[in-house]
Amino acid sequence: MSTCCSINNKKEKVLTPGNCPTCQAKGKKVGLITLFQLIKRPFQKEINRSSQYYFCSSKECEVVYFSNQNNDFLFKKEHLIVKVGQKESTPKQVCYCFDYTHQDILEEVQKTGKSTATQIITQNIKEGLCACEMRNPQGSCCLGNVKEAENQATEKCKK
C-alpha cells in the first residue's frame, strides 16, 4: 500500500529555516531576552527556551516572533506589550529606547530642514544608554530604521 493512502498520512508544513511559517518572509534572529521583555506575561509561558526565535517584519503578517519548530507558539502583535513599528501604519515607532516615531522625524525635517535623531541616538549609544535588545521588537539597534525614516522624511519634504 502506498503512503498516500495511509490513514495516518499527516503532512506537516515544511518550514524553511528562518522563514515565517505564515507569510514566508525571511526572519531576523532574536534572543530570548527580547521575547521575555516584550511578550505579555500570560504568553511568556509559551516561549520554548530551547528554540531559536525570529522576528517577522512583514507589515501584512500578524506574526511577530516565530521559531521553526512545528509545535512552537506563534507570537502575534496582540501578544506584545508594544506596537511593532514595522507592522503599523501610524504612529510608526522607529526608536524604542529614545521614543522616536516617523512623525517626530518628519516634523523636525519640516521645521528645520534636517533630522538630528541619528546624531542624538548615536551619542546616547556611545554613553551606554540604549537597551535595544530589550525594547526594540527586532532585538537589535534601531539606527537603520531611524536613518531610513530620516531619508523618507527628507524626500517627502523635497516634493
Check pLDDT > 60 for residue 130. Answer: yes
pLDDT, one tens digit per residue, over 56-74 is: 999 999 999 999 888 899 9
Mean pLDDT (the chain) is 90
Domain count, the chain: 2
Strands (E) in 21-140, as ranges, are 28-30, 53-55, 63-67, 75-76, 93-95, 100-101
- 131 lies in the same domain as 109: yes
Residue 5 located in a structural domain: no
**Residue 128 is part of which domain span?**
85-158
